[in-house]
Each structure stands twice: as structure tokens, then as C-alpha cells.
Amino acid sequence: MTDRGYQLRSGIYGVCVGDALGVPAEFRSRKELRECPVTGMTGWGTHRQPEGTWSDDGSMTLCLAQSIGETGGIHTHDIMDRFLEWFEDGKYSPWGERFDCGHTVAQALFRYKEGAVPVLCGGNQRTSNGNGSLMRILPMAYYLSARYGTDLTGSAKAMDMTHKVSGLTHRHPIAQSACGIYVNIAARLLAGTDKTAAVQEGVSASVGWYRRHEKFEEALPVWEPLLDTVSLAEKPEREIGSSGYVVDTLIASLWCLLTTDSYRECLLKAVNLGEDTDTTGAVAGGLAGLVYGYGGIPRDWLDALKGKPVIEKACKAMERGEDEEENDGIFG
């Protein structure tokens, strides 16, 4: 396995394992999980799926990864076509069957089927700020950091591509900026920056960029808690939300990353926050995978993970696509 291949698997498997860990506990309350916590990979539960089954978070991440790998760029029609293959036919899933999908994602896919331009399919209302674009955005960090380096805020094109890929399903500035912050943190982790510095620098650079762009004025207040990494890490659990709201998901994921010292510890902390357990697990898992590496993901969790050939196909596609740097920009 090449170094790049290892990095790809660290993040992509990190997402899918985190998703699978959280699937059986989705919608359970924090109080319930405090009394009967998730301690490892389990099955059945909320969605009645076997142990190690990942859901929409993993599937949509793989759709994006495989599209980037096979086209060598960001082709919005191709990405949306793959999302539809997953939504309608169960492709890019462990069992060839979809069992979970957020309302905002479903609405965007219906608009696409009706002929809407891909980058205008996503909801742009304040109520459209679920975590359905954040949960799948990690592949953009690989694509963009290979072309624009560690600080993606230095390129208007890199930021625009991130926002447009978010906007395929989630077009409000809050959801788009959540993706921008996440990808900027991930790009620093890919460069070997330690986790605390990666979060501090990624948030600071991103929020600074958003302050200079009027479109994102509405999003600025929600990211204030992220600017002081020390204060974020010191927050008590009761101040950390775990709903499907994208702000809750990003803050919870970074809090879990900053306050733990291993992939296992980070993910168990994330999932046991309750509510949207699979997505908090997926979002935290992608970053924790980059911090601790593929080798840091518990072997028993990897052994239990279903659909590994589907994950491998996407990773290999992205690995091959690394040479296609001439495809630089958004394509229809």
C-alpha cells in the first residue's frame, strides 16, 4: 500500500467504521446511552441491520470518492448520478439496499431528477442545515490538498468547489461553511499537523475567509465557539449538542477529537453522545482516522465491518485518480 493509499484508507475507513458503530444506536438519547453505553461494534438496534453495517454517511462518501477517482475531477452530474444510484438502487452500500436517508438529501435528489442544475439542487433555507453534506465531504480534502496545499483558504477556487459540492444537497451558508471548516482541518491533518493545531489553524483560517465574504455573514455567529480550541476542549458534555443540525455535528466531532487520545476512545465518546449517532461517528471518524491512521482503527471493528469490497473500490479509484491533476475545477 502506498503512503497515499494508506492516507485514503485512514480517512475513508474512518468514516465508514464510525458510521457503522453509530447505526444501531441512532436516535437513542444520551440518558439511555449513559445507562447502557455502546462499547463496541454491535448489530440490529434502531435500523435492524447486522453488526458492522454503515449507512447513508458512508455510502454518500463513497459516491463522492469514486466519482472523483474515476473522473479525475469534480463533475457534479456524475456525483449526483451516483447519489441517485445509491438512493434508488442501493449501490455503494454494504448489502445493495439503502435503509436511511435525510429529508434534505431526498429533496435535492428529487429536484435533480426533475431536471434542476446540480449545484442548485440543495436546500438553501435556514431549515436546510442538516449534516447531510458534512458527513460526506471528506474526499474533497484529498482532492483539494493535492492541488492547493494545506491552507485551502488561499484559493478561492478550492473554497468554491467545497461549497458547490456541499450545495448539491445543502446550499445554505451554514452547511457550506461547516464543510469548508472541516475540509481545511482535514487538509492540515493530511499534511501531518497535530490535531490541536490542525483544528485551531483550520478553524481560524476558515472563519477569517468567511468574514471577508458577505454571503457567509449569517454563518459567522454559529462558529464563534470553535475559535478558542482550549475553551472548546474544556466544555462539559452537557454543552455539546448531538442532533442532526450541522453545527452540533461539527462541534461535537471536534470536541470528541480534542478530548481523546485514540480512534476507539474518540468514536465511543462521539456515539455515546446520542441522537444522530451514526453521523457524529462518521464525521468524527474521518478526522480521527487521519490522526491515528488506518492502523489505529480497532482491528475487531474493521473485522466486523461489512461491505469492504465497496469501500476498497472507492479507495482504489481515488488512488488511481491522483494523477489526473489536469482536471481542476467544477464540471457539469
Residue 199 near residue 233, CB atoms below 8 Å: no
pLDDT, tens only, 190-222: 999 999 999 999 999 999 999 999 999 999 999
Phi-psi region of 50 (alpha: psi -120 to 50; beta: other; left: phi over 0): beta
Residue 262 near residue 292, CB atoms below 8 Å: yes
The amino acid present at 21, given as its one-letter code, is L
**Structural domain boundaries enclosing 104:** 3-331
pLDDT, tens only, 21-36: 999 999 999 999 999 9
Output the nine-digit C-alpha cell for 16: 465508514
Number of structural domains found in the chain: 1
Q: Hey, is 331 helix, strand or coil?
A: strand
pLDDT score for 255: 99
* pLDDT > 90? residue 332: no
Alpha carbons 292 and 289: distance in angstroms, whole number: 5
The residue that leads in pLDDT, 304 or 47, is 304
| CATH number of domain containing 262 | 1.10.4080.10
